[in-house]
Amino acid sequence: MSESPIPEKTPQPDIMLPDPKKLILSASPHIQCADTVPGIMRTVLICLIPPAAASIYFFGFHAVRILLLTTLFCMAFEWICCKLAGKTSTLGDYSAALTGVLLAMNLPPGVPWWICLIGAFIAIVVAKAIYGGLGQNPFNPAAVARVALLVGFAGPMTAWVTPCQGFFPDAEKAPAAIQVHETERKPDFTTGATPLSLAKMAKTPEEIQALQTPDLLKQCFFGRTQGSLGETSALAVLIGGIALILLKIISWHIPAAMLGTTLIFTWIVSKADPSLTPGPLFHLCSGGMMLAAFFMATDMVTSPTTRRGKLIFGSSIGIIACVIRIWGGYPEGVSFAILIMNALVPLIDRICYKRPFGWHPSSAAAYTMRRGEVK
Amino acid sequence: MSLPPHVARFTGGIHPMDGKGLSNGITARTAPLLEKYLVPLHQNIGAPPKLTVTKGELVKKGQRIAEPGGFVSVPLHAPTSGTVGNLTEVPGVAGNTLQAVEIISDGKDEWGSGLDPIVPWQEADRKVLKQRVADGGIIGMGGAAFPAHVKLSPPPEKTIDTLIVNGAECEPYLTADHRLMLERTEAVLEGAAIAARILDVDRIFIGIEENKPDAIAAMKKAADAYGIQIVPLPVRYPQGAEKQLIFAVTGRAVATGGLPMDVGCVVQNAGTCAAIRDAVVEGHPLIERYTSVTGTPVVHPGTWIFRIGTPVKEALKLAGGVREQPAKLILGGPMMGFAQSSMDVTVTKNTSGILLLTGRETGRYLSSPCIRCGRCVSVCPMRLLPGPISVMVECENYALAEHNFVMDCMECGACTFVCPAKRPLVQHFRRAKAEINAIRRARKKH
């Protein structure tokens, strides 16, 4: 055995071996991507910076006040709900903060603080916590809150502050953006109608045409029109929205389907009857269309999971929103459209059921026959 | 004759950090002889082999030490010459305990397999060749551990026209097949040609992911002599999954619940092909294999040729040990491998890698509720609905889960990899599959 090819056992004290007691046992896969739910929510919040900054630029102190109030109220309600339910606080997933900012984006700049409170209550408690919290809500919390406030508090919810009145608005310096209603007492701010309500009131082709001047369209696109915080500048929302798509937080399907159908639908209607409604550019840039397309309708929890489902969902929202805008009782119908389609998401998911790899009619028949066998 | 291959793109899939750079440039080394090997008896899918040697018996290297326990079973062979020791137990890869036989080396390492080389194999009878594959103790070396001769014995009603050799090695970190294809190119090709002769097919494809350009080049250079076509595949996990590989190479989709033979294909791993060649041309049964020892904590990552029955502890010593305490010791790849809590597990016929991961790499997250982001749905290579199915399983609604094709899940782990809520999706599906199988078995008994 002296010629053994077995190497002599040389002491190798420097070799460190793993301590088996410290090894973690778990099922595969053993690696996961770095994305987390708080990470996604945080990214959406960051992408909301351009529209939020635009709202502060155009509405000054009002925007700051509403952004802070709704965010704080939403987070407070989230915390209270978690306490009441005996759960650990879910503030850390940023979803409440995101709902708060989105709610602010959906409020007119002139609303009093208690509207923010009620809105936050509806969004967090009624629309989310009651259903079981993040991931369980069938309806978009911010859209529910906006619609509830719009129906319940029509007065404060149409306090459309005229933009660009300085950081602490002073009525005397206010430029007349579109149409300024003089109030009787010395006002905190001046208000005016949104482009959409003007479109609603317009009766003649000339009035409609007046809404389509390049000047006004430019204002709608860059800002300076009356509207909710997130509605005034389509450009800012577009920047944030494209960032969301580039960061792969949302896919392009819902925004593209929504804006695409809006474009085609309003183009057809405005061509067919020019006295009915302005053209597609007006509809795309005014109101909450951009905000809804990129930030509201794309809410993962309340939108379909398959690509085909997203296309159906987005285009349906576009059509419903335009129908409400053109023929409905409200000047703006995007939030209503989102809620209607939210309710149909389970159905859409069912219709857009993906056929598994290797699906074949015979395999489907086999599975249908077997259905209910395993109890 | 054979049509040129076209690469079809399967839907879904992921791009995890591949980590192959740690070991893919290092030539495989033969592990030095150990004093003692612990050969687990039941390494294959199917019946466990029956031990035929007793304690104290002298064996030669490659000598049969266990008989197959049935048709779906394989014999075992001594990894070196020496004495049969005790029948002991070693921890199995999946957390079970396996019976293992000790082979105490006499240091001479003398061959004595009793298998004569079949040369030239081109003229040998198919049955003889197939019997040799069975006698060689060859099982699927990519990880499935399914006896190779069973795969090469399709029922007569199925016509097989294509043999696909799986050289994709889509699991991150692992480089064993890469090194094997580079260093034993001829052996892989010849083994594939032998398998094709057994199956009586002339369409042979070798699918290799494009992240192994050197292996593709080497294979392409030598493949023409064997009439084999090399198919470079896009890098996407799980490109090496059987059904996805068949789809990529032939454009044929195996029906849900079906087998590759339903679409006329047989898939063998590259390592299996080399083993088939060794058994036929050299008369050497499967007693050693290429295995990567890798991971960032490993001091000298690389690929080694280990004898079957080498304890993982010895393998790690060869690689210089670790720099820091790893969080996980995994046999296989990070996506589908098995975490271990003991270093006494042994290298078996299907151990493609010994992988160590740090806590940072594995990450341990708390799972949170599904936010319906749909990422799992878009990456599932079987086009299932992982998120919704996982909820069905949580509600123990196995009927609904089965109706949603949970049995088609191949447990590749892509959904769990991308889930931002860190939900244990694959784990739910494993449970559902086990429960549904139990229900089906129980129903059969009635």
Q: What is the CATH number of the domain that holds B243?
A: 3.40.50.11540
Q: Cβ–Cβ of B383/A4 closer than 8 Å?
A: no
Task: Determine phi and psi for B59, rounding to 5 degrees.
Answer: -125, 155
Which two three-digit tokens encode residue A176?
């007349």
Q: What integer best gives the mean pLDDT of chain B?
A: 91
User: A195: burial class by Cβ within 10 Å (0-12, 13-18, 19+)?
Assistant: buried
Last residue of a domain, one of B227, B258, B282: B282
Q: Which of B106, B254, B325 sits opposite A358 (nearest CB)?
A: B254
Residue of A nearest to B421 (CA): A37
Grade residue A279 by pLDDT with cuts at 50, 70 and 90.
confident
Domain around B177: 20-24+115-282
- The predicted structure's pLDDT at residue A374: 43
Set of chain A residues whose Cβ sits within 8 Å of the Cβ of B325: 18-19, 22
Instruction: Tell me the C-alpha distance between B166 and B209, whole Å.
Output: 10
Q: How many domains does chain B have?
A: 2
Q: Cβ–Cβ of A6/B398 closer than 8 Å?
A: no
Per-residue pLDDT for A220 more than 90? no
Per-residue pLDDT for A201 more than 90? no
Residue A168 is assigned to a structural domain of this protein:
yes
Which two three-digit tokens encode residue B330?
């995994």
Last residue of a domain, one of B248, B282, B316: B282
pLDDT digits (tens, 9 = 90+) for A33-88: 988 999 999 999 999 999 999 999 988 888 999 999 999 999 999 999 999 988 88
pLDDT digits (tens, 9 = 90+) for B352-363: 999 999 988 887
Residue B84 is assigned to a structural domain of this protein:
no
Please report, as a single letter, which amino acid is at residue B111: W
- The predicted structure's pLDDT at residue A297: 95
Residue (of B151, B170, B383, B147) closest to B259 by Cα position:
B151
Q: What integer best gives the mean pLDDT of chain A?
A: 84
Which two three-digit tokens encode residue B132?
């040799």
Which two three-digit tokens encode residue A41?
């929510």
Instruction: Tell me the C-alpha distance between B422 and A56, whole Å.
Output: 36
The secondary structure of B338-369 as a DSSP string is EEES-S--B--TT--EEEEE-HHHH-------
Residue A365 is assigned to a structural domain of this protein:
no
Residue A17 is assigned to a structural domain of this protein:
no
Per-residue pLDDT for A165 more than 90? no
Domain around A333: 37-351
Residue of A nearest to B18 (CA): A31
The secondary structure of B121-180 as a DSSP string is GGGS-HHHHHHHHHHTT-B-TTTT--BHHHHT---TTSPP-EEEEEE---SSS--HHHHH
DSSP 8-class letter at A110: T
pLDDT digits (tens, 9 = 90+) for B387-446: 989 999 999 999 888 888 898 899 999 999 999 999 999 999 999 999 999 998 988 877
Q: How many domains does chain A have?
A: 1
Give CA separation, A329 vs A56, A115, A287, B66, in Å. 30, 22, 15, 84
Interface residue of B9, B10, B256 to substitute, partner A, most A CBs within 10 Å: B256
DSSP strands (E only) in B201-334: 203-209, 228-233, 265-269, 288-294, 302-307, 328-331
Q: Cβ–Cβ of A6/B356 closer than 8 Å?
A: no
* Residue whose tokens read 């474009």: A263
Residue B245 is assigned to a structural domain of this protein:
yes
pLDDT digits (tens, 9 = 90+) for A236-266: 999 999 999 999 999 999 999 999 999 999 9
Residue B347 is assigned to a structural domain of this protein:
no
Residue B360 is assigned to a structural domain of this protein:
no
- The predicted structure's pLDDT at residue A11: 52
Residue B204 is assigned to a structural domain of this protein:
yes
Residue A234 is assigned to a structural domain of this protein:
yes
Set of chain A residues whose Cβ sits within 8 Å of the Cβ of B416: 29, 32
B271 shares a domain with B150: yes
pLDDT digits (tens, 9 = 90+) for B294-315: 999 999 999 999 999 999 999 9
Residue A111 is assigned to a structural domain of this protein:
yes
Q: Cβ–Cβ of A6/B34 closer than 8 Å?
A: yes
Per-residue pLDDT for A6 more than 60? no
pLDDT digits (tens, 9 = 90+) for A297-349: 999 999 998 889 999 999 999 999 999 999 988 888 899 999 999 999 999 98
Per-residue pLDDT for B95 more than 90? no
Q: How many C-beta neighbours within 10 Å does residue A12 have?
A: 9
Residue A326 is assigned to a structural domain of this protein:
yes
Residue A18 is assigned to a structural domain of this protein:
no
Instruction: Tell me the C-alpha distance between A341 and A50, whole Å.
Output: 27
B119 shares a domain with B257: yes
Residue B392 is assigned to a structural domain of this protein:
yes
Between A96 and A167, the higher pLDDT residue = A96
The secondary structure of A61-109 as a DSSP string is HHHHHHHHHHHHHHHHHHHHHHHHHTPPP-GGGSHHHHHHHHHHHTS-T
ω into A13 cis (within 30 of 0): no
Q: How much is the average pLDDT of A277-283? A: 89
- Percent of chain A scoring above 70 in pLDDT: 85
Instruction: Tell me the C-alpha distance between B111 and A351, whole Å.
Output: 64
- The predicted structure's pLDDT at residue B299: 93
B251 shares a domain with B382: no
ipTM at complex level: 0.86
Residues contacting B120, CB < 8 A, separation 6+: none
Q: Cβ–Cβ of A356/B424 closer than 8 Å?
A: no
Residue A210 is assigned to a structural domain of this protein:
yes
* Residue whose tokens read 């603080």: A113
Q: How much is the average pLDDT of A271-295? A: 89
Last residue of a domain, one of B230, B251, B282: B282
Pairing of strands A191-192, B82-91: unpaired
Q: Which of A22, A31, A135 sits opposite B325 (nearest CB)?
A: A22
Report the CATH number at residue A203: 1.10.3430
Distance from CA of B130 to the nearest CA of A (A): 30
Residue B350 is assigned to a structural domain of this protein:
no
Residue B169 is assigned to a structural domain of this protein:
yes
Q: How much is the average pLDDT of B59-70? A: 93
Set of chain A residues whose Cβ sits within 8 Å of the Cβ of B90: none
Grade residue A372 by pLDDT with cuts at 50, 70 and 90.
very low
- The predicted structure's pLDDT at residue A366: 53
- The predicted structure's pLDDT at residue B326: 93
